[in-house]
Amino acid sequence: MALVEISKYKSFGGFQKVFSHKSKILGCEMKFGIYLPSQIEDKKLPVIYWLSGLTCSEANFIEKSGAQRYAQEYGVVIVNPDTSPRGLNISGDKDNWDFGEGAGFYVDATEEPWKKNYNMFSYVTKELIEIISTNFNVIEGTQSIMGHSMGGHGALICALKNPGLYQSVSAFAPICNPSKCAWGRKAFEGYLGPQETSNWSDWDATELVKVYNGPPLCLFIDQGAADKFLQEEQLLPNNLVEACKIAKVPIILNKREGYDHSYFYISSFIGEHIKHHSGYLQK
């Protein structure tokens, strides 16, 4: 697959790059960021995929997370795609900040006019992994996934729906039970159809853990206690914790007093997450 290098900056000894390519699954040009530590010149490295939240592009994580220094320290590649198809001019795709462009929700849409292009789940779990494995000096099949908010939801469902594909999963302030919150219901109704006639539980981490049947997988969840979206019941981490207890799926919930939903919060703890994943990836 032809990649076009958009930008390249040296950072902590490695290189932060952005590439574009024509996506077969999404039917449009997509961009992704990739941080390549200096060690990649001498050996293959494992990969961590980062999925961003509502309204974000590939730029937010690159510019605000501070992840590059830890990726260099632990010798891992970090890949972060955009959050939706763009430039398709589908009717309604720019009308709302929480639906359409910048809000693909990491599902495979089944409803018109979205089902032809809004298939971020397949893009992240299939096409993007193939692109990275083919074009960069990475260890094939050795990858983890993490994300924030809508992207935390995405990371959780990507891991739970593909047992064994990722060595580990973590999430900052994820939308844990989307079928029970306003953001999730809006997205699912639009992309998947009415709850009565479509299986929303197939795209909801809290429901997926109840039927998870795969290799051992610990869910590592990070949540700011001062997050306004936690208080507005958009995130619902306790629902996921209770479902994990019943299903005997291990879960770690770190509550961070005083921290909100922003990248100031993410940058404060991103090093812990990369260290966590590195422990699984280096085994």
Active-site annotation holder among 261, 273, 276, 277: 261
Active-site annotation holder among 149, 168, 170, 278: 149
Pairwise CA distance, residues 148 & 223, whole Å = 10
Q: Is 276 a catalytic residue?
A: no
Q: Is 95 a catalytic residue?
A: no
Pairwise CA distance, residues 122 & 126, whole Å = 5
Pairwise CA distance, residues 202 & 146, whole Å = 19
Q: Is 277 a catalytic residue?
A: no
Active-site annotation holder among 148, 227, 276, 277: 227
- What is residue 126's three-state secondary structure? helix
Q: How many helices (H) and strands (E) does the chain have?
A: 10, 9
* 169-172 β-sheet, strand order: 4-11, 14-23, 28-36, 77-81, 45-51, 138-148, 169-172, 219-224, 251-256
Buried b / exposed e across 17-28, counting CB within 10 Å, b at 16+?
bbbbbebebbee
Q: Please identify every residue annotated as catalytic.
A: 149, 227, 261
